[in-house]
Amino acid sequence: MARERKFVKEKMQRVQLKEFLQRETERAGFGGADIKRTPMGTRITLYTERPALVIGRKGKRISELTEQIKQKFNFDNPQIEVQEVERPELNAQIMAEKLASSLEKGWYFRRAGHSTVRDIIDAGAKGCQIILSGKLTGPRHRVEKFQDGHIKYCGEEKKKWIDEGFAQAKLKLGVIGVTVKIMDPDAVLPDEIEIIPPEPETEEEQEEADEEEGEKDEETDEEEKDKQDESEPEKEVEEMDIEDTEEEEEDG
């Protein structure tokens, strides 16, 4: 049980670290974090929409963030690497944060949902699904879904090609959960078949193919001649039989 507890503790620590980074880099557009242990320490790759806000002037902000992580989570020599998200519209976490921010600013949930789906699909995604859950318009809880394109719900394709993000919008009526799922534009599904055209033949291959076709034509001609030769004697025998019958009738 000691080993299992260790794994659970490390997993909880990683989740808490991601939540901490999400709060600290909210203005920069948090797009996810990748945490790996290396012999030199703990490497944290932070994906943001605006890396300059995370790094700060002369690296002051990122140094403070590294020191806070070291003190709160007891990581050995944490190293933070900041990477810019080239296409924010295809990052599910960034789009979930933007949608939650729009709801907090007073956007009607249908308008915000359809607008977000349109932006994601226009960016090239193969599919998108947005789920809003909470007190959207009245005192009762409800769930609204906005979807376009193709979305996988299970299997290896979901793990490989679906990016999922979650955020919360805090309104007067209560908290609204925002879930965004995006299918990668480069996703290759099992039912997609690509037909590869044949390669152009070289001159030698073309000559060989012509020779084979010529040989086949000669064989077919010979077979037709043999069939004609076999049919001609039968016709002669029939003609002779007809002449004999005519002579017998005349003698009679």
pTM higher than 0.75? no
Q: For the domain bounded by 7-86, which CATH number is listed?
A: 3.30.300.20
Q: Give the mean pLDDT of 167-183.
A: 93
Q: Supply the pLDDT for residue 221.
A: 66
Alpha-carbon distance 225 to 227, whole Å? Answer: 5
Q: Which residue has the higher pLDDT, 30 or 242?
A: 30
Q: Flag whether pLDDT at 206 surpasses 60.
A: yes
Q: Which residue has the higher pLDDT, 94 or 201?
A: 94
Q: Which residue has the higher pLDDT, 67 or 75?
A: 67
Q: Top-level CATH class of 89-183?
A: alpha beta
Q: Supply the pLDDT for residue 200.
A: 63
Q: Supply the pLDDT for residue 15.
A: 87
Q: Give the mean pLDDT of 155-170.
A: 91
What is the residue-averaged pLDDT of the chain? 83
Alpha-carbon distance 54 to 148, whole Å? Answer: 33
Q: With 0-12 CB in 10 A as exposed, 13-18 as middle and 19+ as buried, what is 36?
A: exposed
Give which of 76, 166, 92 is closest to 127, Cα–Cα: 92
- 118-144 per-position pLDDT tens digit: 999 999 999 999 999 999 988 899 999
> 57 falls in which pLDDT band (50, 70, 90)?
confident
Q: Is residue 25 within 8 Å of 53, Cβ to Cβ?
A: yes
Q: Is residue 55 within 8 Å of 62, Cβ to Cβ?
A: yes
Q: Give the mean pLDDT of 88-97.
A: 93
Q: Supply the pLDDT for residue 71.
A: 86
Q: Supply the pLDDT for residue 232.
A: 54
Q: Which residue has the higher pLDDT, 209 or 86?
A: 86
Q: Flag whether pLDDT at 148 surpasses 90.
A: yes
> 242 falls in which pLDDT band (50, 70, 90)?
low
Q: Flag whether pLDDT at 195 surpasses 90.
A: no
Q: Supply the pLDDT for residue 202.
A: 66
